[in-house]
């Protein structure tokens, strides 16, 4: 054993090897290589001392082994961490896959904002300091009908800021039916506790009435809060008090704030096409609410952000709060959000620019055309493919009950279990293709796949078939 340990070459000897030199030339970061080589040498020494580890006979073999380990480490290190994924799940706002994709215009604007200086906090007219809160405020006001608005890191941050700044140590009344947990362990009750607001629950899980709020309102009440139930839907014997009525109750009972966490916050009226019953942000605000908050990367189709819109008096208080600095967004977010919001002013064509909105509105026929394009390009030798219909989901906690008729390409894989193909598509393909197995087939929903991705999917499937069925 001692002899084995002694035969481990010194790090500086390995560094003289041609193979080491070649790796350095290829990748080039000698300091980290030396560190890794030391770690691998140490690991091998310990495994020899414990009488475990690889069977290596000569000094040459050990040297090769260590260089192999180093090479693996280098290649792994250079693997992409945040990598592109093709979403063939049909879930449009897939939170695990990054929710909404940016429009081309938004992506270009991000690039420009990243490359150059900007007037992020600079007033170009006067040459004085400006405010980043001012950059998009007028566009948000125009899109939502709000008196004032600001943007923070995400909607969770928006909810927190509103509660912390406006209701700390005071009572906030919420219907029991709206005390939901929204994926990623964001709980309305917990965020309220964090903020220092005192939660006053009213009503029951399924029904909350006007009188429930009226009975609970008192001296200590700072706010009546309504929360979008997101992924959760109560059906059957249910009742909620509409926002409009909450504002009336507030007016007649000491005028506490009325705030709704809209969650997804549609800027476009999807209802008009029979898709869901999501109120637009404008509709929510026109009911007289003091404030609403919503995400930038759900139905809006922009970057991760939280938008707070409502009465100027309260937005001004929020902008001045210490937390506004903690939760502020960067220039890249503002750049993406600006172009996304501008698309809403360009009519039908503008809406089509925003991928998430386009995917929600796209007809089954358009999706079927893409599915046929994929089908027509597939040339399997043993597998077979078919066009099927199914339903896609909007996702991201929005419109949980809405199903969008879609077109799916299903693949029957013969002897290979579909789950294996699903796994391989995910792991071995560049980019990763995320899909699912259903009814003993591989199931690719084309609603969330764009035209350019069809060729990538085709190539990957062909390669997989020949690899797995050989």
Ligand X SMILES: *Cc1c(COP(=O)(O)O)cnc(C)c1O
Nearer to ligand X, 255 or 330 (CB): 330
Residue whose C-beta lies closest to ligand X? 263
| CB of 161 vs ligand X, minimal distance in Å | 12
Nearer to ligand X, 159 or 411 (CB): 159
| CB of 317 vs ligand X, minimal distance in Å | 21
| Count of CA atoms in the C-beta half-sphere (13 A) of 93 | 28
| CB of 105 vs ligand X, minimal distance in Å | 22
| CB of 45 vs ligand X, minimal distance in Å | 48
Q: Which two tokens stand for residue 261?
A: 């966490």
Give the pairing type, strands 441-445 and 436-438.
Answer: antiparallel
Report cis status (omega within 30 of 0) of the bond before 348: no
Q: Is 81 exposed, middle or buried (0-12, 13-18, 19+ CB in 10 A)?
A: exposed
| Count of CA atoms in the C-beta half-sphere (13 A) of 442 | 28
Nearer to ligand X, 285 or 442 (CB): 285
CB 166 within 8 A of CB 138: no
Tally of helices (H runs) and strands (E runs) in the chain: 20, 14
CB atoms within 10 A of CB 263: 24
> Would you call 191 helix, strand, or coil by DSSP?
helix
Nearer to ligand X, 156 or 224 (CB): 156
| CB of 63 vs ligand X, minimal distance in Å | 51
User: Any long-range contacts for 271-278 (C-beta under 8 Å, 24+ apart)?
Assistant: 273/361, 275/360, 275/361, 275/399, 275/402, 275/404, 276/394, 276/398, 276/399, 276/401, 276/402, 278/398, 278/399
Q: Is 70 exposed, middle or buried (0-12, 13-18, 19+ CB in 10 A)?
A: buried
Nearer to ligand X, 294 or 314 (CB): 294
> Would you call 303 helix, strand, or coil by DSSP?
coil
Nearer to ligand X, 263 or 279 (CB): 263
Nearer to ligand X, 199 or 468 (CB): 199
| CB of 183 vs ligand X, minimal distance in Å | 7
Give the sign of the dihedral formed by CA 291, CA 320, CA 199, CA 233.
positive
Residues found near ligand X in the complex (CB under 6 A): 154-156, 159, 182, 186, 227-228, 230, 261, 263-264, 295, 306, 397
| CB of 298 vs ligand X, minimal distance in Å | 6
Q: What single-letter DSSP state applies at residue 132?
A: G
Nearer to ligand X, 328 or 462 (CB): 328
Nearer to ligand X, 249 or 305 (CB): 305
| CB of 261 vs ligand X, minimal distance in Å | 5
CB 304 within 8 A of CB 297: yes
| CB of 295 vs ligand X, minimal distance in Å | 3
Q: Which two tokens stand for residue 282?
A: 């404008």
Q: What is the largest CA-CA distance in the chain?
A: 89
């Amino acid at each position: 054993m001692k002899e084995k340990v002694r035969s481990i070459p010194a790090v500086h000897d390995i560094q003289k090897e041609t193979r080491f030199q070649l790796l350095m030339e290829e990748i080039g970061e000698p300091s980290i290589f030396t560190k890794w080589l030391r770690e691998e040498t140490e690991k091998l020494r310990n495994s020899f001392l414990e009488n475990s580890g690889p069977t290596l006979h000569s000094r040459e073999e050990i040297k090769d082994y260590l260089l192999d380990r180093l090479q693996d480490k280098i290649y792994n290190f250079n693997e992409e961490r945040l990598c592109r994924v093709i979403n063939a799940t049909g879930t449009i706002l897939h939170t695990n896959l990054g929710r909404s994709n940016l429009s081309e215009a938004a992506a270009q604007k991000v690039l420009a904002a990243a490359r150059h200086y900007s007037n992020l906090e600079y007033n170009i007219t006067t040459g004085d300091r400006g405010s980043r809160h001012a950059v998009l405020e007028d566009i948000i006001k125009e899109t939502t009908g709000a008196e004032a608005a600001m943007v923070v890191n995400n909607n969770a941050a928006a909810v927190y800021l509103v509660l912390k700044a406006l209701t700390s140590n005071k009572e906030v009344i919420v219907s029991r039916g709206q005390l939901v947990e929204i994926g990623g362990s964001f709980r309305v009750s917990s965020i309220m506790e964090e903020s220092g607001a005192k939660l006053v629950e009213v009503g029951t899980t399924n029904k909350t009435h006007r009188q429930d709020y009226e009975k609970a309102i008192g001296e200590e009440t700072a706010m009546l809060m309504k929360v979008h139930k997101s992924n959760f839907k109560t059906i059957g014997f249910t009742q909620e008090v509409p926002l409009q009525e909450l504002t009336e109750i507030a007016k007649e009972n000491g005028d506490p704030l009325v705030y709704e966490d809209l969650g997804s916050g549609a800027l476009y009226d999807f209802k008009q096409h029979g898709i869901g019953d999501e109120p637009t942000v404008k509709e929510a605000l026109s009911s007289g609410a003091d404030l609403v908050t919503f995400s930038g990367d759900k139905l809006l189709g922009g970057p991760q952000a939280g938008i707070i819109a409502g009465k100027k008096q309260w937005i001004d208080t929020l902008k001045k709060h210490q937390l506004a600095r903690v939760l502020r967004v960067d220039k890249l977010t503002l750049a993406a959000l600006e172009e996304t919001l501008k698309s809403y002013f360009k009519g039908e064509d503008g809406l089509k620019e925003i991928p998430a909105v386009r995917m929600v509105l796209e007809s089954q026929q358009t999706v079927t055309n893409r599915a046929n394009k994929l089908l027509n390009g597939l040339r399997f030798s043993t597998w077979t493919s078919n066009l099927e219909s199914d339903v896609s989901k909007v996702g991201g906690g929005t419109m949980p009950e809405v199903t969008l008729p879609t077109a799916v390409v299903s693949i029957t894989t013969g002897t290979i279990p579909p789950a294996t193909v699903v796994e391989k598509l995910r792991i071995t393909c560049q980019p990763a293709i995320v899909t699912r197995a259903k009814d003993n087939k591989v199931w690719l929903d084309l609603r969330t796949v764009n035209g350019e991705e069809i060729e990538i999917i085709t190539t990957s499937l062909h390669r997989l078939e020949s690899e797995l069925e050989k």
